Chains A and B, each alone.
Chain A
Amino acid sequence: MNAEPASAELYEVKGPSAVGGGWHRFFELLWLMSVTEFKKTFFGTVLGYVWSLMRPLLLFAVLLLVFTQVFKLGSEVAHYEVLLLFNIVLFGLFLEGTSGAVGSVVGQEGIVRKTQFPRLVIPLSVVLTALFTLGLNMIIVVIFMLAFGAPPLWTWLLFPLILVPLLVLVCALSMLLSALNVRFRDVAIIWTVVATALNYATPVIYPLQIIQNEALKHALMANPLAPLFQQAHLWLINDPKTESLITAAGGPLPLIAAALIYVGICVAGVWVFNREAPRIAEQL
């Protein structure tokens, strides 16, 4: 158990940081922590996987009932049930990623305060776990889509073009929120409200074309999530009634705003987390 001879070379210890300890270690830890968390949810209980599917499926069943039977949406929108399930699962990534990340750094206090640990791993592992869940849920969605007779389209292959920007946004938000939550503990509470609001401000449970108020529809497109979900809708189901991004936005302005907000969140996420990382342990 003798250690190998230490390199006599002295190197500077820079103190805690977001990534500290090299990228290799960073990714190994990220992977290991996400897998661990994932295993815990899926193999920790008898019904594991079933339970994790229950939530989106139950939500789906309720919403489907409400919107097809009460609001009679089903007749107006082609393959509404497929769109609804897909959207719920996709928004699940956003919801699970951000809401899980908000309290993650505070929740992992023991690790943060007691060991040398790249801080960024903590919120990002939550996002990665959410991504695993999305992957599993997507299997069901695909089966469901085929079962309900949504014709397979080549544009389904473009799905990564939706997923990657969404994932980047979720990562940036999780960094921003988890770092802020260390300083201001009510960020987590505020975020549950904001996330619910975003759920309705994004065409998740309703298709954009049912909104009669044009100004409202255009304003909604300034929400960075809205163009992503609308584009997903366009690629998912071939329906001439689905409006293109520019039509829904009524001009380029809301889309430019969305892009700016998107970039702003990303920059803020990286900047705030980097700035807070060295001090996180002291503030817990």
Chain B
Amino acid sequence: MNPEREAWKALEENAASLLKDNFADHVMRVSRGPTDAAWQQLRAHGAAQIRPGLADRVMRAIRGRIEETSPFGHLALGALTVALCMAAVLFHHNRQYRIQEERNVAEWQQLASEAQQYFGFMQ
């Protein structure tokens, strides 16, 4: 055998020794892609995450939500909101009215004292 051929053979053998025994099987598996069995396992793993009694929990949650949003609840919430808004408006109105009145009284007092000073000066 000529040296070049021998070198090639050694190279091939070295490269081949890097491959595992069942290399062909692995290549076939990869080229085929995930098997139905793998998909089934995946879905089964997902299904296994559910604790027993899911249906009961769902039904309870739905009932809870229905109770939470009963017509009476809506009405009460609406009435409370209206009452709070009215209270806020009344409070604001009263406060503005009081401030305005105090300002008017102060102005009248100032006017009265100025008038008094003026008439006192005339006399």
Pairing of A with B: no
Task: Report which A residues bind B (CB closer than 8 A).
Answer: none
Residue numbers of B with Cβ under 8 A of A are none
